Amino acid sequence: MKNIVEFGPVQFIRGTKGGRYPFCNSIFLESSGILIDPSSDREILKGLSKKVNSVWLSHWHEDHIMHLDLFEEATLCMHELDTPPLKSIETFIDWYGVGDQNKPELKERWRKMLVEMFNYKPRTVILDLEEERLELDGITVEIIHTPGHSPGNLSFYFVEPEILFLGDYDLTPFGPWYGDRHSDIDQIISSVNRLRQIPARTWLTGHEHGIFESNPHQTWDDYLKVIDTREEKLLAFLSQPRTIEEIGEAWIVYGKPKEPIEEFKLMEQISMKKHADRLIERGEVKYSDGKYVRS
């Protein structure tokens, strides 16, 4: 499998470990010196560092910024709504919901992981990218605000080669991810439905194989269907009253316990809480005495 795949002016850089977490796939626009999501392959990115004038982020998550430390001289650009965690490590950790847990050791582990594994350094100067069409050297880019995975999540449509970069709407069998404080299931559904209307020829994603050269019709459906499947499983599990801790231990999102267990359990709980709230709103679940149960 080639590590850099060129689609005219757009270079797709495959992440280490096949672009699986904690890595992602990067995009490089050589003609304008723009690198998107610098968490792919450290050696390749090192080789590019002199050519990169600005780094764009699709969103704030750690698996998209691991090698950002190689580009301290470059301008950092992202949607304003996603900038707070880049400016402060405490905010970063808080956005994962860790602050609510009253577990200082969990907070400490996150801090250590962000610094040691993800090379986290706060960035104070960040330029805002908004939904707009930019005529760059050699390529036109449409920046599309696609919130849900994160509040300021961005997707990029490269007009001339008709390439759509989907970032973490990655069309994997795992399905959409919404395990932190500000991710939003309804927004994810709207954003994915918007993205699938764009008449691209090539679709690139932030994780795993990441290249679709024909319209991934069925894959879009399967990807969104995961949300319904998780919600159905939760509803079935709530035939008896359950606390959010018990719901987290059912591993409906991840399928089985994952290490580090505390971190993943929290993401399960946060994801499931969002489903439970949707079910309450629809009158299918009620909450009392600290327990959720099917109505």
- Residue 67 beta carbon to Zn ion: minimum distance, rounded to whole angstroms: 16
Residue type, 238: L
Instruction: Identify which of residues 21 and 251 has a Cβ nearer to Zn ion in the complex.
Output: 21
Give the separation between CA 78 and CA 83, rounded to whole angstroms: 7
Binding mask 182-201 for Zn ion (x = CB under 5 A): --------------------
Give the separation between CA 37 and CA 60, rounded to whole angstroms: 9
67 near Zn ion, rule: CB under 5 A = no
C-beta nearest to Zn ion: residue: 61
Residues in a beta bridge with 35: 28, 55
Q: Quick one: which segment of 6-14, 31-39, 167-175, 270-278 binds Zn ion (CB under 5 A)?
A: 167-175
- Residue 126 beta carbon to Zn ion: minimum distance, rounded to whole angstroms: 17
Give the separation between CA 260 and CA 271, rounded to whole angstroms: 17
168 near Zn ion, rule: CB under 5 A = yes
Residues 190, 149 contacting (CB under 8 angstroms): no
CA dihedral sign, ordered 43, 46, 52, 57: positive
37 near Zn ion, rule: CB under 5 A = no
Instruction: Identify which of residues 14 and 61 has a Cβ nearer to Zn ion in the complex.
Output: 61
Instruction: Identify which of residues 117 and 236 has a Cβ nearer to Zn ion in the complex.
Output: 117
Residues 155, 166 contacting (CB under 8 angstroms): yes
CA-closest candidate to residue 209, choices 66, 11, 12: 12
Residue type, 154: L
Instruction: Identify which of residues 246 and 263 has a Cβ nearer to Zn ion in the complex.
Output: 263
Give the separation between CA 284 and CA 55, rounded to whole angstroms: 45
- Residue 206 beta carbon to Zn ion: minimum distance, rounded to whole angstroms: 7
Chain residues that interact with Zn ion, rule: CB under 5 A: 61, 168
